[in-house]
Amino acid sequence: MPVPARDGAAARDGGFTLIELMVALLLLAIVLVPFVQAYTSTTYATNDGRLQQAAVFVADTSLDQARAVSPSDLLNGRAPGTALSPACPGESEVLPAGDTTALSADLAKINLWESPACGATTTLFPFHPTTTSMDGYTFSTYWYVGTCYQASTGCTAAAPSTGTQAALDEVLVDVTWPQANVCPQGTCSYVASTLFSSKSSEPTFNVGPGA
């Protein structure tokens, strides 16, 4: 014969009340939210670093291609000028989208040869971006070529008023890739450059006997 439950026992065996369940879920959410935020931030930071490393690799590879060119050929197919003020009618240069603050500061230090030379049919560095696909992203490389003068701060577009400074050629690349909510206008950018002597060959010195 079943034994009748004592007063209060049935209430304890009835499980959680709705209020108790809501409080438990609230406490669980309070504990889990910081962990989710930390995981999300770490994931974004890891992805950002991976893309920046990929951009550096693309830029270094592009500059290695430029270093393989004879300095006397760097300006082939180009004329002094910019995309906004071409030396003669011809193909217009495509400018990068997104934040170009760093790029503009670097370009202001050199005399740009960013206009197709009249009658030129080829150029070593294209006026349109080249693309490289890595890790599911497309990286666009924009090429800039110009001349400058050696200065204590690096390179300057204006010739020095005193003394003699070496004339240099500069190849600059701007590697961009799309990344929403990270960089201005959804486009990130990495700028790198390398300098060349404007002389076709380096000077040689006779150090033999009787020199």
Q: What range defines the domain where residue 70 resides? A: 22-197
Q: Three-state SS across 31-59? A: HHHHHHHHHHHHHHHHHHHHHHHHHHHHH
Cβ contacts of 109 within 8 Å, gap of 6 or more: 148, 154, 155, 156, 157
28 compared with 108, residue with greater pLDDT: 108
Q: Find which of 5-19, 105-119, 151-165 is predicted with most confidence, using mean pLDDT.
A: 105-119
User: What is the rounded distance in angstroms from the CA atom of residue 77 to the CA atom of residue 90?
Assistant: 12
| 173 within a domain of the structure (yes/no) | yes
Number of domains in the chain: 1
The dihedral built from the CA positions of residue 178, 184, 185 and 190, taken in this order, carries a sign that is negative
Q: Count CB-CB contacts under 10 A for residue 87.
A: 16
- Considering only 20-24, 41-45, 160-164, 199-203, which range has the smallest mean pLDDT? 199-203
CB-count burial class (<10 Å; 0-12, 13-18, 19+) for 62: buried
Q: Residue 85 falls within a domain, yes or no?
A: yes
33 in a structural domain = yes
Structure tokens at 114: 């960013």
Whole-structure pTM value: 0.68
Domain-located, residue 7: no
How high does pLDDT run on average in the chain?
76
**Residue-wise pLDDT tens digits, 127-159:** 888 999 987 889 999 998 888 887 776 788 887
Residue 113: inside a domain, yes or no?
yes
Give the span between the Cα atoms of 79 and 106, in whole angstroms: 19
> Does the residue 205 lie in any domain?
no
Over residues 179-196, mean pLDDT: 84
What span, in angstroms and rounded, lies between the C-alpha atoms of 116 and 69? 19
* Section 94-106 average pLDDT: 72
The answer to whether residue 58 sits within a structural domain is yes
The answer to the question of residue 2 being in a domain is: no
